[in-house]
């Protein structure tokens, strides 16, 4: 049985029928690290809030651990761990008090499940008498993860856990998630950072409440049919405009200091450079690259 | 039970850590009870009076000195014409103008009758009312004294008069403070109970902690009890501090049974906390909660019978005050503290307050949703 099964889930906000979640279906296998990847406002948080019984769906159904999110919400609240996107622990209680409080609320104790949080907790343990409100962003994140884990949940929901966290802490955080996976905990995580997608076992790319694709990250990347090029010239803006004008361009967009572009069959690298030169661009640099998840996402967006 | 214990532990920890709130809980009743009853005095003193003396006789001089000696009036003008005196009133330097007509003494003795004119500045209604009646009674007394002077040595008054002598029950000296202090204490308890419970829950919403609580197996009633009990206890603490202050500073000792008072407060706090709770279920931010609470508090206080007697309000206002929990508390406080009323006397008040508590809390629980 799958840990999370979502069937045609719908959430509508407001009077003008904004479909924040539009017929979303996916399932997560036990022990899987599943990522919901999409930009802000894609509907990730709404899905999380419905799965953690904080929000009632307007259509469709879903089960977590076999329990229905509407009928059996009481069971779900006992078994899942949820870490909201915004830090939601008591800022005026210390690290230890927060942890003890959430442990007792679930009828357990820190000692009982210490093995689960040990790796994370040791990093913040020396500040355990400090109030949560006085912690740095990274430490808050670790504390929130500890609190979500302290009752040994079967499914862990992490809503944008790495948003606003520095790159080093982000990396650390994903390492922690991998270790938790080995404990057999199913993890559903959302993030707006495409580069984090490769850390997941499977990802769902989501945009405007709709799922564009659900696959293993490498499959998504491999499915990118066209040859992608990184192009650079002395003038970025003119380069982008020129690429747009080129007859054989399938897709082109800015990507860091390069422009990424793909071209239809007949156009060779040589022809592209020639065209760009004819458009008055100089110092043209062009080479083949392997697509990233972000490239796939942009392509999917264009197709949909 | 275990859950409640931990919720309470958490709640008290947070309250004791919030130094400002804690100070407010202790200091607010102390300061307010020490200062407000002294300042908010119903007795009107220092009424500015301008006198237009057109007679300038011994009698008019005697009248003026009687007026100034009463202690209520301050002579701010002794003018030759009404016009001059009226200027003083326009500049707000005179609240009253007393015009003594020429021939005052002569007419009083010869004709046995004389009319005088009092002009009252009615911008401040209370001051105008009381000032006017103080002045009339002084003039009346002055009149009586003159009669006695003029009367034949052993004669009897020719005109029969009715003299009214009144005694003040339950507050012999008509001491204003004895009457105000219990009322102010009632307001304080309402504010502490209502505001704190309301803002506390809304704060959990605003900060987002309620989200984290909602995904736990904590039951609705556990969470609400965990919020009610701490503030119920605090309300009782504030009440006790208030009673101590009114005893130490004003020497007010409840004549009735103090147990009756606490029994009523116990139920009353439940209704106020329930009210705070109900408001909190409608609000998303502390700002909203604060404004809504202020709105109701103003209504409760002004229609609660603290400053103006409910019996003299128009019918519709009396009807509203029937739904005002504060009015029952103020009335019970005065009944028990000043009159020594027993449990039997306050039973109707207690019953109604209990109904308030029940209805408000049930509504709050129904309206508090863990899922939206």
Tens digit of pLDDT at every position of chain B (372 positions): 788 888 999 999 998 888 888 888 888 888 888 888 777 666 677 888 999 988 888 888 888 888 888 888 888 888 888 888 888 888 888 888 999 888 888 888 887 778 888 888 888 777 788 888 888 888 888 888 887 777 655 555 556 667 777 777 777 666 777 888 888 899 889 988 898 889 998 999 998 898 888 888 888 888 888 989 999 999 999 999 999 998 998 888 888 899 999 999 999 999 999 999 999 989 999 999 999 999 999 999 888 888 778 888 888 988 888 999 999 999 999 899 988 889 999 999 999 999 999 999 999 888 876 554
Indicate the residue among A156, A187, A221 that finishes a domain: A221
- Are residues B188 and B285 located together in one domain of the fold? yes
- The stretches of chain B forming alpha helices (DSSP H) are 2-17, 19-39, 58-69, 82-90, 104-110, 125-150, 176-207, 209-214, 220-250, 258-282, 286-302, 315-322, 325-334, 343-367
User: Using the beta-carbon criterion (under 8 Å), do B217 and A106 form an inter-chain contact?
Assistant: yes
User: Using the beta-carbon criterion (under 8 Å), do B215 and A104 form an inter-chain contact?
Assistant: no
C-alpha–C-alpha distance, residues A30 and A72, integer Å: 19
Q: What is the pTM of this model?
A: 0.78
- Are residues B51 and B18 located together in one domain of the fold? no
User: Using the beta-carbon criterion (under 8 Å), do B217 and A74 form an inter-chain contact?
Assistant: yes
Cβ-based neighbours of A19, under 8 Å, separated by 6 or more: A10, A11, A12, A209
CATH classification of the domain holding B90: 3.40.1710.10
> What is the distance in angstroms between the Cα of A154 and the nearest Cα belonging to chain B?
14
Q: Given this model, what pLDDT does residue A25 score?
A: 94
CATH classification of the domain holding A294: 3.30.70.100
- Give, in degrees to the nearest 5, the angle at Cα B162 between B158 and B168: 150
Alpha-carbon B18 to chain mean position: 30
CATH classification of the domain holding A68: 3.40.50.300
- Are residues B199 and B329 located together in one domain of the fold? yes
C-alpha–C-alpha distance, residues B279 and B364, integer Å: 8
State the residue range of the domain holding A135.
4-221
Q: Given this model, what pLDDT does residue B370 score?
A: 55
- Are residues A176 and A114 located together in one domain of the fold? yes
Task: Assign A39 to helix, strand or coil.
Answer: coil
Residue A194: name the closest of A45, A300, A71 by CA.
A300
- Is residue B324, in this structure, part of any structural domain at all? yes
Name every residue in B having a CB less than 8 A away from some CB of A. 2-3, 6, 10, 13-14, 17-18, 207-209, 211-218, 370-372
- Is residue B160, in this structure, part of any structural domain at all? no
Nearest neighbour of B207 by CB, restricted to A73, A78, A91: A91
State the residue range of the domain holding B65.
47-150
| Confidence band of A136 (pLDDT split at 50, 70, 90) | confident
Give me the total of CB pairs closer than 8 Å, taking one residue from chain A and one from chain B. 67
| Confidence band of A10 (pLDDT split at 50, 70, 90) | very high
Neighboring chain A residues of B208 at a CB cutoff of 8 Å: 84, 86-88
Element (H, E) at A293: helix A293-303
User: Using the beta-carbon criterion (under 8 Å), do A88 and B212 form an inter-chain contact?
Assistant: yes
Chain B, nearest residue to A85 by Cα: B208
Distances B66 to A69, B108, B109, B131, B137 between C-alpha atoms, Å: 86, 17, 19, 15, 11
b vs e for B68-99, b when ≥16 Cβ sit within 10 Å of the residue's Cβ?
A: eeeebbeebbebeeeeebbebbeeeebbbbbb
- Are residues A182 and A93 located together in one domain of the fold? yes
Residue A108 has pLDDT above 60, yes or no: yes
C-alpha–C-alpha distance, residues B234 and B196, integer Å: 10
C-alpha–C-alpha distance, residues B282 and B245, integer Å: 36
Name every residue in A having a CB less than 8 A away from some CB of B. 52-56, 73-74, 77-78, 80, 82, 84, 86-93, 97, 101-102, 104-107, 147
User: Using the beta-carbon criterion (under 8 Å), do A73 and B371 form an inter-chain contact?
Assistant: yes
Nearest neighbour of A77 by CB, restricted to B18, B209, B215: B215
Element (H, E) at B76: strand B73-79
Residue A44: name the closest of A158, A167, A195, A198 by CA.
A158
Contact B333, B252 (CB under 8 A): no
Indicate the residue among A221, A236, A262 that finishes a domain: A221
- Are residues A191 and A263 located together in one domain of the fold? no
What is the sign, positive or negative, of the torsion defined by CA atoms of B180, B181, B182, B183? positive
Instruction: Report pLDDT digits (tens) over A17-76.
Output: 888 999 999 999 999 999 999 888 889 999 999 999 999 999 999 999 999 999 998 899
- Is residue B290, in this structure, part of any structural domain at all? yes
Residue B236: name the closest of B189, B300, B301, B195 by CA.
B189
Neighboring chain B residues of A80 at a CB cutoff of 8 Å: 215
Helix, strand, coil percentages, rounded to 5, for chain A? 40, 30, 35
- Are residues B201 and B340 located together in one domain of the fold? yes
**DSSP codes joined into one string, A200-266:** SSEEEEEETTEEEEEE-HHHHHHT--SPEEEEE-S-HHHHHHHHHH-TTEEEEEEETTEEEEEE-TT
Instruction: Report pLDDT digits (tens) over A251-276.
Output: 889 888 899 998 887 677 888 888 88
> What is the distance in angstroms between the Cα of B3 and the nearest Cα belonging to chain A?
6
As for how many domains chain B has, the answer is: 2
First to last CA, chain B: 27
Q: What are phi and psi of A150, to 5 degrees?
A: -65, -20
- Is residue B191, in this structure, part of any structural domain at all? yes
- Give, in degrees to the nearest 5, the angle at Cα B69 between B65 and B70: 125
As for how many domains chain A has, the answer is: 2
Mutate to test the interface with B, among A57, A80, A103, A104 (most CBs of B within 10 A): A104
């Amino acid at each position: 049985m799958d840990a999370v099964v979502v069937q045609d889930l719908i959430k509508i906000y407001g009077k003008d029928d904004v479909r924040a979640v539009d017929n979303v279906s996916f399932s997560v296998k036990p022990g899987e690290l599943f990522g919901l990847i999409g930009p802000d406002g894609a509907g990730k948080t709404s899905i999380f809030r419905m799965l953690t019984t904080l929000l009632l769906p307007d259509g469709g159904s879903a089960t977590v651990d076999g329990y229905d999110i509407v009928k059996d919400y009481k069971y779900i609240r006992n078994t899942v761990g949820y870490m909201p996107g915004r830090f939601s622990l008591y800022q005026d209680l210390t690290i230890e008090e927060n942890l003890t409080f959430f442990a007792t609320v679930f009828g357990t104790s820190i000692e009982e499940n210490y093995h689960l949080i040990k790796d994370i907790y040791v990093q913040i343990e020396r500040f355990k008498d400090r109030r949560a409100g006085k912690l740095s962003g990274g430490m808050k994140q670790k504390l929130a993860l500890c609190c979500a884990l302290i009752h040994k949940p079967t499914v862990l929901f992490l809503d944008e856990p790495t948003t606003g966290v520095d790159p080093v802490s982000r990396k650390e955080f994903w390492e922690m998630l991998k270790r938790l996976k080995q404990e057999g905990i199913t993890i559903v995580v959302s993030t707006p950072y495409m580069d984090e997608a490769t850390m997941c076992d499977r990802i769902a790319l989501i945009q405007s409440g709709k799922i564009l694709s659900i696959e293993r990250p490498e499959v998504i990347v491999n499915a990118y049919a066209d040859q992608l090029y990184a192009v650079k010239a002395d003038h970025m803006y003119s380069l982008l405009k020129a690429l747009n004008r080129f007859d054989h361009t399938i897709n082109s967009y800015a990507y860091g200091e390069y422009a990424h572009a793909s071209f239809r069959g007949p156009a060779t690298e040589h022809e592209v450079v020639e065209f760009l030169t004819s458009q008055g661009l100089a110092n043209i640099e062009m080479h083949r690259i392997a697509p990233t998840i972000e490239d796939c996402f942009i392509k999917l967006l264009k197709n949909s | 039970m275990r859950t409640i214990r931990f919720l309470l532990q958490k709640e008290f920890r947070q309250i004791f850590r919030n130094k400002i709130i804690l100070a407010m809980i202790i200091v607010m009743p102390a300061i307010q009870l020490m200062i407000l009853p002294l300042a908010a005095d119903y007795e009107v003193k220092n009424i500015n009076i301008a006198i237009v003396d057109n007679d300038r006789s011994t009698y008019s001089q005697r009248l003026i000195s009687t007026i100034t000696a009463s202690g209520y009036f301050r002579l701010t003008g002794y003018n030759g014409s009404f016009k001059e005196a009226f200027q003083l009133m326009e500049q707000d330097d005179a609240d009253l103008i007393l015009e003594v007509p020429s021939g005052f003494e002569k007419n009083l003795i010869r004709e046995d009758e004389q009319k005088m004119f009092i002009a009252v500045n009615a911008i401040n209604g209370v001051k105008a009312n009381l000032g006017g009646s103080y002045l009339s009674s002084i003039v009346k007394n002055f009149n009586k004294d003159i009669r006695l002077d003029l009367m034949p040595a052993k004669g009897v008054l020719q005109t029969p008069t009715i003299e009214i002598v009144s005694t003040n029950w339950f507050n012999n000296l008509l001491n204003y403070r004895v009457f105000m202090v219990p009322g102010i204490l009632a307001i304080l308890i309402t504010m502490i109970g209502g505001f704190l419970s309301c803002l506390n829950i809304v704060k959990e919403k605003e900060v987002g902690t309620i989200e984290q609580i909602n995904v736990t197996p904590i039951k609705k009633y556990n969470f609400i009890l965990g919020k009610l009990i701490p503030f119920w206890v605090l309300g009782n603490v504030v009440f006790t501090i208030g009673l101590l202050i009114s005893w130490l500073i004003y020497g007010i000792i409840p004549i009735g049974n103090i147990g009756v008072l606490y029994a009523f407060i116990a139920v009353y706090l439940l209704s106020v906390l329930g009210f705070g709770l109900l408001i909190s279920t409608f609000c998303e931010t502390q700002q909203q909660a604060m404004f809504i609470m202020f709105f109701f508090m103003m209504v409760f206080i002004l229609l609660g019978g603290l400053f103006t007697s409910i019996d003299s309000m128009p019918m519709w206002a009396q009807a509203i005050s029937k739904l005002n929990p504060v009015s029952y508390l103020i009335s019970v406080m005065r009944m028990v503290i000043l009159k020594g009323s027993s449990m039997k006397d306050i039973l109707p008040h207690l019953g109604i307050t209990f109904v308030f508590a029940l209805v408000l809390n049930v509504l709050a629980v129904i309206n508090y949703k863990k899922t939206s």
